Amino acid sequence: MRNMSSNENDSLIRQIDAILPQTQCGQCGYSGCLPYATAMVQGVADINQCPPGDEVVIRQLAVLLDVSYKPLNRKYGIPKPKAVALINEEYCIGCTFCIQACPVDAIIGAAKCMHTVLTEECTGCERCIAPCPVDCIRMVPIALTKRDEDPTLQRLAADKARERYQNRLRRLESERQRKNQLKSKSSAKAKVAKLASVDENLKKAMILAALERAKALSTVSLDSNRSEPEV
């Protein structure tokens, strides 16, 4: 690939990302579709590493990047029928591990409470399965709908998944910054408390020193008076 400016790189990354299915499954070896697109532009990833996109996506990428088509590299996985995650609510212990793993925030619930998958938002990435400590999540094949057969509707669904993925990244970054701010405030309070403690100890030491000096002066004065001869 020829050398490109930063703006050209960014534009090409967006074009590649627009082709990818936005399952955010990580099968390509990257954390999501956008990182995979970035890796392709950087020349460290190939066009045939996306099992969910399979032949359709590979051919579109080949045209966009003006490279030869190549079949899916199956070391990254194989295409599967459309499926969504289903939580067996009877066995869910409310650990929140699946919520933390979902790249598009398609699982709702709270700690020690039952979790539920938002089927319409689930991309079928399967990332929630491995973290579950009680093995209560499985993938359930679902029938194809008009959306799955219409390229325009498919693209709209992918755009929505991308938006949810990006919203999640922004939320996580906001939470990280908030934790760092709280940590900084806590650290600052601890330093102030420590300085206050040092100041208090210094004040006590100064007072004791002053008392000792006054006591010493008083002793000297008494001794002086006693040593004077009587008239």
Domain with 11 in it: what CATH number?
A: 1.10.15.40
Using the predicted structure, report yes or no on whether residue 171 has a pLDDT greater than 90: yes
Closest C-alpha among 85, 87, 91 to residue 134:
91
Q: Check: CB of residue 39 under 8 Å from CB of residue 16.
A: no
Using the predicted structure, report yes or no on whether residue 16 has a pLDDT greater than 80: yes
Mean pLDDT of 178-202: 76
Please indicate, yes or no, if residue 136 is contained in any of the structural domains.
yes
Mean pLDDT of 217-222: 65
Distance in Å from the first CA to the final CA of the chain: 114
Mean pLDDT of 200-218: 78
Please indicate, yes or no, if residue 51 is contained in any of the structural domains.
yes
What does the pLDDT read at residue 226? 58
- Confidence tier at 224 by pLDDT (50, 70, 90): low
197 compared with 178, residue with greater pLDDT: 178
17 compared with 229, residue with greater pLDDT: 17
Please indicate, yes or no, if residue 97 is contained in any of the structural domains.
yes
Rounded-to-10 torsion of CA 61, 154, 127, 116: 170
Instruction: Supply 106's token pair.
Output: 């398609």
| pTM as predicted | 0.75
Let me know whether 72 and 87 are in one domain: no
Using the predicted structure, report yes or no on whether residue 2 has a pLDDT greater than 70: no
Let me know whether 94 and 166 are in one domain: yes
Which DSSP symbol is given to 194?
H
- Confidence tier at 216 by pLDDT (50, 70, 90): confident
Rounded to the nearest integer, the mean pLDDT of the chain is 90
Residue burial 166-184, b: 16+ Cβ < 10 Å; e: rest: eebeeeeeeeeeeeeeeee
Q: What is the CA radius of gyration of the chain?
A: 33
Share of the chain above pLDDT 90, in %: 68
CATH number at residue 169: 3.30.70.20
Let me know whether 115 and 163 are in one domain: yes
Let me know whether 62 and 106 are in one domain: no
39 compared with 219, residue with greater pLDDT: 39
- Say how many domains are in the chain: 2
Mean pLDDT of 63-92: 97
pLDDT tens, position by position, 103-121: 999 999 999 999 999 999 9
Let me know whether 28 and 107 are in one domain: no
pLDDT tens, position by position, 121-140: 999 999 999 999 999 999 99
Please indicate, yes or no, if residue 106 is contained in any of the structural domains.
yes
Structural domain of 137: 83-175
